[in-house]
Amino acid sequence: MESSMKINNHSLLSKIATNNGHGENSPYFDGWKAYDANPFHPQHNPEGVIQMGLAENQLSFDLIQKWIESNQNASICTPQGASCFKEIAIFQDYHGLPEFRTAIANFMNRVRGNRVRFDPDRIVMSGGATGAHETLAFCLADPGEAFLVPTPYYPAFDRDLRWRTGVNLLPVVCESSNNFKITREALETAYEKAKFDNITVKGLLVTNPSNPLGTFLDRETLKDVVNFINDKSIHLVCDEIYAGTVTTGDAFVSIAEVIEEVPTCNLDLIHLVYSLSKDMGFPGFRVGIVYSYNDNVVSIARKMSSFGLVSTQTQHMLASMLSDDTFVENFLSESRIRLARRHDTFTRGLAQVGIGSLESNGGLFFWMDLRRFLKDATFESEMAFWRVIINEIKLNVSPGQSFHCSEPGWFRVCFANMDDETAMIALWRIKSFVRKNRNLKIKTKNQYWQNNQHLRLSSRRLEDMLTPHRMSPHSPLASPLVRAQN
């Protein structure tokens, strides 16, 4: 990198280039750097940091690999499929391959138990869910206008929706006292605050199932949300990229179902974001989808998709894969079983040492409650403890504050991006830390974390795990206990 004369970048580059909108200075990314500097490897670096900050789904690749082996014609690089190479390589229509759109719509239907029908003509491609969110933000709001987002939320929304669009995100504060439920009151409060601050609210963004909570919204909450956005006449962007990870399968309710049950809903306000990065585990393929019920938005988002199209090589392969119904059904059910098993392994194991977590049935992570480990209920303490986790337990989990969580002490733990062996090691590290720490802490005055209530909490968790699907995700998770900790 030769350069003889330095020029002043700050006067030469745009505000976007020189501001912090990319969000890479957040603690969320610090953890990644710590992992990158010292990554765990079972043989080569068994003392390294285990990555539990990455919401990746690695549990069912064998199924996909098997499908690929027996469907060689789906690839344009095999003798069976090479005859399509030219046709596919030069295809640059931003509508995407028709068979790809049909297959995606089909897959989206199946993920939602075929209770809804998605129209392939409304499927708009974008570069991952990242690109899909930005596209919608560009379509729906002007710079300075805002979206409401329930907290805690995915940290990169700050980048995806705000950085290049100039749009604001305003938190809808959700609390552990009611399991982070999105209430009408919280929505109204956030909306009123924006009004008071003279900010135009253009929409509400919900992730369902929630990242980082791993919970999904019940039908009533979704109806409340739909009524709210209709009352205010603002857009609803519903991010359902984890829809296929819901371990209770049919229990998941998509916004696509709910709007059919709310006859007064203005469909022009409803937009969905989908992706294959989580449900199929293909983040590398950059398949993001905008699905809007608003014709104008479909048309404009499609024009915008020129900035982030999916490689036709990938479209071609996925069209073939996702239109294979037998494969899709088998994959979805097997994937759910494996995710549930891994989820239970972790949460039960942690419960054994008295660590609770929010009851959840979806996502590739759970929301771990470490409030009792904090010196005090501040975000400084959260960060201090997070550093302990990184440096001593050698796990990269994500602190709640990076998700804009309103209460310190919660951490997102990803569990599907590793093999069973690594998962056991991670669990063992936490358990042994807690046991060691318990002895240390007993010597101190600060013993409140060890009270009986928490033992009850952990046994409660155990019971829940034994009958995993019995409770609604929003059933009160020992709320009095939760309060007792603060």
Partner 1 sequence: MAIEIVQQPAVGLSKIAVSETHGENSPYFAGWKAYDENPYHEKHNPSGVIQMGLAENQVSFDLLEEYLESNQEATSWGKKVSGFKENALFQDYHGLLAFRKAIASFMEQVRGGKAKFSPERVVLTAGATAANELLTFILADPGDALLVPTPYYPGFDRDLRWRTGVEIVPIHCESSNNFQITPEALESAYDHATSMNMKVRGVLITNPSNPLGATIQRKVLEQILDFVTRKNIHMISDEIYSGSVFYADEFVSIADVLESRNYKDSERCHIVYSLSKDLGLPGFRVGTVYSYNDQVVTTARRMSSFTLISSQTQLLLASVLSNKEFTQKYIKINRERLRKRYETIVNGLRKAGIECLKGNAGLFCWMNLTPYLKDATKESELEIWKTIMEEVKLNISPGSSCRCSEAGWFRVCFANMSEETLEVALRRLHEFMDKRRLSMAGRKGERERGAGTMEVIWAGAAEEGGRLIGERSKDRYHFLIRDTMASKLKQFQSKAVQASQFLSKHGNAYYKQLMEENKQYVQEPATVEKCNELSKKLFYTRLASIPNRNESFWKELDYVKNLWKNKKDLHVEQAGIAALFGVECFAWFCAGEIVGRGFTITGYHV
Active site residues: 154, 239, 241, 278
209 to 238, contacts with partner 1 by CB under 8 A? 233-235
Q: Shortest Cβ distance from residue 5 to partner 1 (Å)?
A: 6
Cα-only R_g, the chain? 23
Task: Please give the structure tokens belonging to residue 403.
Answer: 């998700």
Q: Looking at 26, 40, 151, 160, which residue binds partner 1 (CB under 8 A)?
A: 160
Question: Beta strand pairing status for 235-239 and 270-275?
Answer: parallel
Q: Looking at 45, 73, 299, 432, which residue binds partner 1 (CB under 8 A)?
A: 299
Give yes or no for residue 296 binding partner 1 (CB under 8 A): yes
Q: Looking at 311, 432, 475, 486, which residue binds partner 1 (CB under 8 A)?
A: 311
Q: Are 387 and 371 in contact (CB under 8 A)?
A: no
- Which of these ranges, 237-245, 298-306, 354-362, 466-474, lies near partner 1 under the rule CB under 8 A? 298-306
Q: Looking at 33, 86, 436, 483, which residue binds partner 1 (CB under 8 A)?
A: 86
- Which of these ranges, 123-131, 367-375, 396-404, 462-470, lies near partner 1 under the rule CB under 8 A? 123-131
Question: 270 or 430: whose CB is closer to partner 1?
Answer: 270
424 to 443, contacts with partner 1 by CB under 8 A? none
89 to 108, contacts with partner 1 by CB under 8 A? 89-92
Nearest Cα to Cα of residue 447 among 354, 351, 380, 352: 354
> What backbone phi and psi angles, to 5 degrees, belong to 168?
-100, 155
Task: Please give the structure tokens belonging to residue 67.
Answer: 């499908």
358 to 377, contacts with partner 1 by CB under 8 A? none
Pairwise CA distance, residues 49 & 333, whole Å: 32
Q: Looking at 285, 365, 373, 415, which residue binds partner 1 (CB under 8 A)?
A: 285
Question: 96 or 473: whose CB is closer to partner 1?
Answer: 96
Question: 238 or 317: whose CB is closer to partner 1?
Answer: 317
Q: Cβ neighbours of residue 286 under 8 Å, at least 6 residues apart?
A: 127, 128, 131, 308, 310, 311, 314
Angle in degrees, 0-180, between the axes of helices 325-352 and 452-466, rounded to the nearest 10: 160
Q: Looking at 31, 308, 356, 409, which residue binds partner 1 (CB under 8 A)?
A: 308
Q: Looking at 64, 116, 173, 262, which residue binds partner 1 (CB under 8 A)?
A: 64
Question: Could you check whether the bond before residue 212 is cis, i.e. omega within 30 degrees of 0?
Answer: yes
Question: Could you check whether the bond before residue 120 is cis, i.e. omega within 30 degrees of 0?
Answer: no
Question: 46 or 144: whose CB is closer to partner 1?
Answer: 144
Burial string for 438-476 (b: 16+ CB within 10 Å, else e) reads eeebeeeeeeebeeeebeebbebbeebbeebeeeebbee
How many residues of this chain bind partner 1 (CB under 8 A)?
A: 88
Beta-carbon-side half-sphere exposure of residue 163 (alpha carbons within 13 Å):
19
Give yes or no for residue 109 binding partner 1 (CB under 8 A): no
- Which of these ranges, 265-273, 348-356, 391-399, 403-411, lies near partner 1 under the rule CB under 8 A? 265-273
Give yes or no for residue 266 binding partner 1 (CB under 8 A): yes
Question: 1 or 37: whose CB is closer to partner 1?
Answer: 1
Give yes or no for residue 269 binding partner 1 (CB under 8 A): yes
- Binding-residue pattern over the window 21 to 60 for partner 1, x denoting contact by CB under 8 A: -x-x-------------------------------x-x--
Q: Shortest Cβ distance from residue 476 to partner 1 (Å)?
A: 36
Task: Please give the structure tokens belonging to residue 179.
Answer: 């399991």
Task: Please give the structure tokens belonging to residue 281.
Answer: 């585990």
Taking the CA atoms of residue 182, residue 183, residue 188 and residue 193 in that order, the dihedral angle to the nearest 10 degrees is -50
Residue 122, CA distances (Å) to 84, 119, 296 in order: 26, 6, 11
316 to 355, contacts with partner 1 by CB under 8 A? 317
Question: 298 or 477: whose CB is closer to partner 1?
Answer: 298
Give yes or no for residue 148 binding partner 1 (CB under 8 A): no
Question: 16 or 377: whose CB is closer to partner 1?
Answer: 16
Give yes or no for residue 307 binding partner 1 (CB under 8 A): yes
Q: Looking at 35, 40, 228, 282, which residue binds partner 1 (CB under 8 A)?
A: 282
